[in-house]
Structure 1
Amino acid sequence: MKSMTGYGSAVVKARLGTLSIEIKAVNQRFHECQIRLPHSLLTIEDSIRKEIKKHVARGKIDVFVKIEDQLKTPRKLRVDIELLEQYIEAVKTIENAMGQKLTSSLDVNALLIHSDIAVVEKAGNEQWIDEEETIFLALTQAIDSFNQMREKEGQYLLIDMQNSLKDLGKCCDQVEILAPLIIEQYREKIETRLRDYLNEVEVDESRLLTEIGLFADKADISEELVRLRAHIKQFEHYCYTDEAVGRRLDFVVQEMNREANTIGSKATAMSIRQQVVEMKGFIEKLKEQVQNIE
């Protein structure tokens, strides 16, 4: 079991310099990955995204890749003259359409900053993109560090959820003990009222049993308790699988809450309703923790 939140990093020294990768993730229902790369590594962005997807099923993930060159490789500025001429021609077209010269002249600095017009390139053949094996080695190390933190946090979440499941099971035990007593108490209550009302007249035992049977059928919560216990076992089973189970656990918690609500609506005794309140409190704790599970 892994938490969705985590952090991992790796630093690798290569022939061209130092490469550092950071991975951060926070809770999110679906998978979303944003990668920030130096311009020279944009061609391997999809490969990095696919590698992240193999290890992270859901969450909002940010990946930062930084390089620090050690080799003083010569650089050159490449200017796209054809595109620059089109910008200049566009300014002239605007001025002719307006019938006046623009207040500010063409800003050459602004045009050169434009990444499509002016690009700084290394003059030599020494490029980081040629160090793809080193880059993915650093990525693997960062993912391992990232997953270690997520697994550790996942263990803490698992312990907390196990405690909530145990408490929820205890509530089920108490309700199972109380449910038959409630029916017996109802029988005694009906007999007492009938005797007080009829005085010396003998109570019709068959009619009394029919009334009690109707009440018992209406207040029967045995099926709900069976399903609730089944959901608890299913939840425990998912907790020990290696797959991403966050969504499955979220669904199971919803079913637990539905069964608890049904028990509460059927219960007429305050003692059972108090146990239902306790149940819903533990289920709510499970729901909050499940939001952190991958």
Structure 2
Amino acid sequence: MPSSMTGYANAESDDDCLWLAVTLRSVNHRFLDLQLRLAPQIEQFETLIRRHVKEHLQRGQLQLSVLVRWKEESTTFALNRPLLDAYINAHRELTQRHGFSQEPDLSTILSIPNTLSFETETLSEQSRAKLQTILEETLDHALEELARSRKAEAVGIVEEIHQHTESMKSGLVALQDSFKNVIPQFQKRLVTQLTDLFSNIPTDSQRLMQEAALLAGRADISEEIHRLESHTDRLLVLVETESEIGKKIEFLTQEMHREANTILSKTNPLSSAALAVTEIGLELKSAIEKIREQAQNLE
């Protein structure tokens, strides 16, 4: 079952010792891009977190945050004295230079970012092991929930791709039928035009028919139609049987675009005789583009 790259999940663990929460948000991205926001005590487990994520996800930008709170811990405040001294010295310099009279306010100083931080006791080996175990369990639960979320999101995407692909298959049948009528019309019109053009010059009607057939043959799009039929069949197999299909579908749509462009290029010289073919070709390109856009949402 394919997965979307868009999803959300949250998992929490709460026992007598600590509370821990993992939040995951994923969106589209060509590769796997991890953006971590970790509580200070969790930063030591960054490598472990990345490994767990890569075991579950292949593509997408993932925003992952981990919060932790111990229920019994000794917490103290730490002042960033060098930073505070620098702010106070800057205040004094500005006061002397510009004649300000206002003294530094303590509450204002302490509200300056990074001047005040929290310090907790260093974790014991036993506490660290417990924290790692709970982190891994909670992270795995969150990743499993994210996987369910992404698969649910993919259902609608796959349905749209399926509809556009079936529309293409119908269009290819119509294209083949239209093209069968185009060639005789084109040949007849070309012979008439050449005959009128060279009306005062002796011409071989059989020769004109051969030249018209040769020009029409250059516009033959049978191979392109056949390849597009193969691509649409492959596309339906992908969405129904495989999981990681985003990049595969993007590659297929590139091939489809190439065939559709060739069809339009070959039939362009047929002028008004191929208006129906041109219209169907443009509809095919539109369907291919819609499939490509949806594929960008799939892992």
What TM-score bracket applies, with the shorter chain setting the length? 0.7 to 0.9
Partner residue of 2:130? 130
Q: Which residue in the other structure is 1:286 paired with?
A: 291
- Residue 54 (str. 1) matches residue 55 (str. 2): yes
Any idea what SS the aligned residue of 1:140 has? helix
Residue in 1 that maps onto 2:15:
14
Mark the CA change 1:124 to 1:265 in structure 2 (over 3 Å): closer, same or farther: closer
Percent sequence identity is 27
What is the identity, as a one-letter code, of the residue corresponding to 1:274?
A: E
Contact 1:25 1:60 in 2 (8 A): yes
TM-score, normalisation: structure 1:
0.80
Q: Which residues in structure 2 correspond to 1:161-200 (within 5 Å)?
A: 161-193=161-193
Q: Match for 2:134: what amino acid? A: T
2:84/2:115 contact within 8 Å kept? no
Task: Give the alignment of 1:97-246 within 5 angstroms.
Answer: 120-122=119-121, 125=124, 127=127, 130-193=130-193, 204-239=204-239, 240-243=241-244, 245-246=245-246
Report how far residue 163 of structure 1 moved.
0.5
Gapped regions of structure 2 (runs ≥ 5) = 90-96
Structure 1 distance, partners of 2:147, 2:134, is 20
Contact 2:42 / 2:66 at 8 angstroms: preserved in 1?
A: no
Q: Pick from 277, 285, 289 the counterpart of residue 282 of structure 2.
A: 277
C-alpha displacement at 1:18, in angstroms? Answer: 2.4
| 8 A contact 1:75–1:123 mirrored in 2 | no
Structure 1 CA distance, aligned partners of 2:148 and 2:196? 71
1:23-38 alignment runs, 5 A limit: 23-38=24-39
Equivalence for 1:95 = none
Distance in 2 separating the partners of 1:119 and 1:160: 51
Distance 1:174 1:76 in 2: 75
The alpha carbon displacement at 1:127 in A equals: 3.7
Q: Report deviation, 1:280.
A: 1.3
Give RMSD over aligned pairs. 3.5
| Shift in CA distance, 119/275, structure 1 to aligned 2, threshold 3 Å | same
What do the CA deviations read for 1:252-271 (whole angstroms, capped 9, x no partner)?
Answer: 11221121111111112101
Q: Deviations over 1:41-70 (max 9, x none)?
A: 11111111111122111111111212243x
Structure-2 change in CA distance of 1:163 and 1:114 (3 Å): closer
SS at match of 2:209: helix
Query: Mean Cα displacement is larger for which, 202-211 or 228-237?
Result: 202-211
Partner in structure 1 of residue 93 of structure 2: none
**TM-score after normalising by structure 2:** 0.79
Amino acid at match of 2:27: V
CA gap of 1:216–1:74, structure 2 versus 1, over 3 A, is closer
Secondary structure of 1:293's counterpart equals: coil
Any idea what SS the aligned residue of 1:24 has? strand
Give the distance between the partners of 2:82 and 2:163, measured in 1 at CA.
Answer: 70
Q: Note closer, same or farther for the CA distance 1:13–1:76 as it changes in structure 2 (3 Å cut).
A: closer
Aligned to 1:50, what secondary structure does the other structure show?
helix
